[in-house]
Amino acid sequence: MAQGLIVSSYGRFFTVEVDGKNYEAVTRGKKTEFVVGDQVLVTVSNQQQAQIQELVPRQNLVYRSDRNRSKIIASNLQQIIIVIAVKPNFNLGFLNSCLLSAESSQIEPLIVVNKMDLTESPEFATNISKLYHDRLGYKILKLSALENCADLRPYLEGKRSLLIGQSGMGKSTITNQIYPEAMAKTAEITKYETSGSHTTTNASLYHLNTASDLIDCPGLQEFGLFHLDIQQIAEFFPEMRNILGQCKFSNCRHLQEPQCVIRAAAENGIIDSSRYAFYQRLTENLKTKKSY
């Protein structure tokens, strides 16, 4: 068997790169769910086809989940790039969910504020920076995808990065500016879908150079976190980490319990009110989750 890298997926079909050559691949059985970024062991059938036999252990995995099911997105990452913009319909909860996912997987996040050419963007970017950079310490890059996307390149060097964002934030434009060949590959995948050979395009991995990869994930509207452990989520909030364990009760959920240090910090403005409200909603949602 040979070792390969999954560089794209569409439904039950995958493209696996082995020694610089791409093969259309299917899986053996359905016990393991595979995703872009996975290292796998494959059996090469011919010049075009291979069969995935086994998963090489992952360094990390990013996925989202609702009450009933989960969906894996990508694996073996060094960075998650979250693309946001003032329009259309920016969702603060989506940004918080992506950051929490990165924290839970111990992957470095980068927030990219796109569409800085819009009139409303400077004020929007300033507010985002005040909270997420100045208070929480996250890296933020401001750009307009069609004007200065090259500013993103230094952040990509030497890393495998996942590009993620809500639909309409300009993520695809960024991908095409950074890696123009992505447009041709997207057209090729669309051709497969139209012909009925493949369905449901997921993420795609592009080699920027020998040391840097970019994984483009289709735009999302929601990023559920029902797979997280309710006992651990406070650890994934950097503003809460340093004061955890100081509440009166060791099993404090930081909601209505007396002498809760986290709640007191939120009431005193030490913890941002929108972030604490997000923590409250997430905790309440996790209380009602079903097993899957």
Q: Count of domains in the chain?
A: 3
Express each pLDDT in 70-81 by its tens digit: 888 999 999 999
pLDDT tens digits for range 221-244: 788 898 888 889 999 999 999 899
The CATH number for 252's domain is 1.10.40.50
Is the domain of 96 the same as that of 10?
no
106 with 202, same domain? yes
In a domain, 22, yes or no: yes
Assign 273 to helix, strand or coil.
helix
Q: What is the DSSP letter of 30?
A: S
State phi, psi for 228 to the nearest 5 degrees. -75, 155
Residues in the chain: 292
Which structural domain range is residue 271 located in? 233-287
**185 in any annotated domain:** yes
pLDDT over 70 at 193, yes or no:
no
Instruction: Tell how strand 39-44 and strand 2-10 pair up.
Output: antiparallel
**3-class SS of residue 124:** helix
Q: Are residues 102 and 178 in the same domain?
A: yes
Which residues lie closer than 8 Å to 171 by C-beta, 6 or more apart? 83, 114, 163, 164, 165, 216, 219
pLDDT (tens digit per residue) in 202-221: 789 999 999 999 999 888 87
**Cβ count within 10 A of residue 53:** 16
What is the rounded CA–CA span in Å between residue 245 and residue 285? 23
228 in a domain, yes or no?
no
CATH number at residue 10: 2.40.50.140
> How do strand 160-165 and strand 139-142 relate by DSSP bridges?
unpaired
Instruction: Clarify whether residues 80 and 199 are in a common domain.
Output: yes
Q: What is the DSSP letter of 98?
A: H
Alpha carbon separation from 222 to 167, 181, 218, 239, 286 (Å, rounded): 10, 28, 12, 24, 16
Is 207 in the same domain as 65?
Answer: yes
Q: CB burial class (10 A; 0-12, 13-18, 19+) of residue 57? A: exposed
Task: Give the integer Cα–Cα distance in Å for 30 and 16.
Answer: 17
Q: Are 142 and 92 in the same domain?
A: yes
**61-104 per-position pLDDT tens digit:** 998 887 777 888 999 999 999 999 999 889 999 999 999 999 99
CATH number at residue 189: 3.40.50.300
> pLDDT digits over 238-261, tens only?
999 989 989 988 889 899 889 999
Measured in whole angstroms, the distance separating CA 150 from the mean position of its chain's CA atoms is 21
Shared domain check, 72 and 50: no
76 and 212 in a single domain? The answer is: yes
In-domain check, residue 271:
yes
Query: Which residues does residue 278 pair with via DSSP β-bridges, in sequence order?
Result: none
Residues 105, 158, single domain; the answer is yes
